Structure 1
Amino acid sequence: MARKDSFFGRLAESITKFSGSTAAFILAATTVLAWAITGPLFKYSETWQLVINTGTTIVTFLMVFLIQRAQNKDSLVLHLKLNELIAATKGASNRLINAQDFSEEEIRLIHEFYCLLAEKAKQDNDLGETHSVEEAEDNHHEKLAVHRE
């Protein structure tokens, strides 16, 4: 598949990759060291201090957005891969496809659903046997009926 990223997309990805590299760390450390060494030359003036403060503030401000952009992309790709696994796995609940788009209330309800499923599985002494609350309840009732006989 051909990549058709925008110029900004390619630039942001390149900067993000570079910023996590050893070379970027060495560049940053060298910059701070050079600034520190020039302190006596500038008599540790307020302007000398302002240079490093302003520089680091600007770099930090811009990096926050680049890092968030990269994290958003990584998160979306991860969700797509998980959605593919859910869609391709027999017995998996398709209710969870695109769960990242659910409201907090929907997520809480689904969490409660899986807590109930886990509790049913514990009662049956088999954590891997069932795939839905309905199946768990049916299996639980069947086992109870067998034990009562």
Structure 2
Amino acid sequence: MLEKPFTRAANAVAYVTGLPVAFIACLALVLGWAVSGPLFGFSDTWQLIINTGTTIVTFLMVFLIQNTQNRDGAAMQTKLDELIRISNANNRFIGIEHLTETEVEEIRRACERAVRRKSLHPNASRSTTGKSRPAAD
């Protein structure tokens, strides 16, 4: 129910906060706060304003950024899975993002071994026509 509006809001905030003008606006705000220090006698309230404001913004931005990264990562993984699915690549790579770090590392080492074997025997996976054959597991 809230997923679509939240996604739209998260995308909009991520876009706007990524613009150079957003950085300039934040920099101007901080500089304005710093310059106003002598006017307020560098009081506790003066310090509390920037501390509270930056803490709240940081807290909220963590969740927006994480949401955006989660969606971007899932979209990228889906695209890669589709490329693997439609090519001669090994389909066992589809979904490996759901494995443990140890399981992914085992697959990575197996891939490296296969590359080393292929570099030691470059024609081992070639047919008599000279075209590459899909590597066997």
TM-score normalised to the size of structure 1?
A: 0.78
**Greater shift in the superposed pair: 19-28 or 77-86:** 19-28
Structure 2 residue 120 is the aligned partner of structure 1 residue 123: yes
Structure 2 residue 107 is the aligned partner of structure 1 residue 104: no
Q: 1:32 aligns with which of 30, 33, 42?
A: 30
Quick check: which has more Rg, 1 or 2?
A: 1
- Which structure 1 residue ranges, 4+ long, deviate > 6 Å from structure 2? none
The separation in 2 between residues aligned to 1:111 and 1:39, in whole angstroms, is 55
CA contact (8 A) 1:18 1:24 kept: yes
Structure 1's unaligned 5+ residue stretches are 135-149
Structure 2 residue 8 is the aligned partner of structure 1 residue 10: yes
1:126 CA drift (Å): 5.6
CA contact (8 A) 1:116 1:133 kept: no
The alignment-based identity, stated in percent, is 40
| Number of residue-to-residue matches in the alignment | 130
Say if 1:127 and 1:69 are closer, same or farther in 2 by CA, change over 3 A: farther
TM-score normalised to the size of structure 2?
A: 0.84
Aligned CA RMSD, in angstroms, stands at 2.2
Structure 2's unaligned 5+ residue stretches are 126-131
CA contact (8 A) 1:117 1:133 kept: no
1:103 CA drift (Å): 1.9
1:106 CA drift (Å): 1.9
The separation in 2 between residues aligned to 1:6 and 1:16, in whole angstroms, is 15
**What does residue 137 of structure 1 align with?**
none
Q: 1:64 aligns with which of 62, 65, 83?
A: 62
Say if 1:123 and 1:12 are closer, same or farther in 2 by CA, change over 3 A: same
**What does residue 51 of structure 2 align with?**
53
**What does residue 79 of structure 1 align with?**
77
Query: What secondary structure is seen at the aligned counterpart in 2 of 1:41?
Result: helix
- 1:77-117: CA deviations, max 9, x gaps? 1101101110111x210000112112223212211211220
